Chain A
């Protein structure tokens, strides 16, 4: 893929994720989904930047807010939307809904509802990769809310002493539900804290998809060379409440507006591509239309898909043997 195609494909993926999330949020408010969602609007560059640096068989393990990671790892809008409606055509066959998207065979070790658990699962996957002698890496996503949780640092310590091919990505939207990260973080600097474990650690602009991609590409090379884990704190922002319908009054309207208008990852990247001659207006407009059509198709597909048959409730129960 040439540079132009690659950049446009990254931009389109971010636009698709944004449209998907805003559509899903509206459906959730109308009671059309099986439960609410954790909307990732605003955090697209983290997901797309990370996946752009990974090979298809690299592993990810994620969090309660995982739609953007899942879509960016090339799961289709259809299968993710169908899962949000717990339809049998969903990525988890309608058993998981929003918080349990995943498919081990495709390198997605799942989202889950436990703070920082995905990062620990990512560490376990990295151990598995090392034991099997595979040439791939594992990305463990964790939110800022997981930064003051014990298991996070246990996992990072283990990854460091065993030099596991783990990339710790902090999808840092700065608010753990209602709690601002700076109010609860002793020492204040997460990268500095991580560097105490003797691994490369940095804080980067999570709204800049290229900066994200390059940081993860470097971490991947470092891990594949046998050097062990890297910690990357990506500063980002969520535009909506923690979950569907949450009317957050812990952030000022000015703060939200500032991030939306001055630091939006999609607008910033599109502007950059225009400036570099890698995108023209007709192509950009076409992308918007095709993204809208793709998401509407995903909604129709999901609405027309059946729920799992109750007689199959005992299928897909894990007997201790993972697929793939």
Chain B
């Protein structure tokens, strides 16, 4: 199971605004796919998964301010569950 999380992209960055879910719960994804769009202090950032599988539960809703390092969803390998 891969945890997809809000990356720390600068020393002053403490949280990010969850702008949009690109991949829905239960949707199949490939490594490198954009899962969500977030906004930091400086830029819009694509949150990308590193593995292929199925998107798990969205742990935050659009509009949420999510602290750096928090997992926003997971990518499940075949047979895995949350």
B-binding residues in A (CB < 8 A): 28-32, 34-36, 244-245, 247
- Kindly name the residue among B7, B11, B69 whose own CB sees the greatest number of chain A CB atoms within 10 A: B7
Asked if residues B69 and A36 are in contact (CB atoms below 8 Å), the reply is no
Complex interface: chain A residues within 8 A of B22 (CB):
none
Complex interface: chain A residues within 8 A of B10 (CB):
36, 245
B14 → A minimal CB distance (Å): 8
Asked if residues A30 and B69 are in contact (CB atoms below 8 Å), the reply is yes
Complex interface: chain A residues within 8 A of B31 (CB):
none
In the bound complex, CA of A19 to CA of B5 (Å): 21
Write 13 A-B pairs (CB below 8 A) sorted by A numbering: A28-B8, A29-B5, A29-B7, A29-B8, A30-B5, A31-B8, A32-B69, A34-B11, A36-B8, A36-B9, A245-B7, A245-B8, A247-B46
Is B62 in the interface zone, CB < 8 Å from A? no
A181 → B minimal CB distance (Å): 26
Asked if residues A245 and B69 are in contact (CB atoms below 8 Å), the reply is no
A-binding residues in B (CB < 8 A): 5, 7-11, 46, 67-69
Asked if residues A245 and B9 are in contact (CB atoms below 8 Å), the reply is yes
In the bound complex, CA of A3 to CA of B8 (Å): 43
In the bound complex, CA of A32 to CA of B69 (Å): 8
Complex interface: chain A residues within 8 A of B7 (CB):
29-30, 245
Complex interface: chain B residues within 8 A of A29 (CB):
5, 7-8, 69
In the bound complex, CA of A244 to CA of B45 (Å): 14
A230 → B minimal CB distance (Å): 38
Complex interface: chain A residues within 8 A of B68 (CB):
30-31
Complex interface: chain B residues within 8 A of A247 (CB):
46
Complex interface: chain A residues within 8 A of B67 (CB):
31
Complex interface: chain A residues within 8 A of B5 (CB):
29-30
In the bound complex, CA of A29 to CA of B5 (Å): 9
In the bound complex, CA of A36 to CA of B9 (Å): 7
Complex interface: chain B residues within 8 A of A34 (CB):
11
In the bound complex, CA of A241 to CA of B51 (Å): 19
In the bound complex, CA of A124 to CA of B10 (Å): 33
- Kindly name the residue among A29, A35, A244 whose own CB sees the greatest number of chain B CB atoms within 10 A: A29
Complex interface: chain A residues within 8 A of B69 (CB):
29-32
Complex interface: chain B residues within 8 A of A244 (CB):
8-9
Q: Given known contacts A29-B5, A245-B9, what 13 new A-B pairs fall within 8 Å (CB)?
A: A29-B8, A29-B69, A30-B5, A30-B8, A30-B68, A31-B8, A31-B68, A32-B69, A35-B11, A36-B9, A36-B11, A244-B8, A245-B10
A100 → B minimal CB distance (Å): 14
A77 → B minimal CB distance (Å): 21
A26 → B minimal CB distance (Å): 10
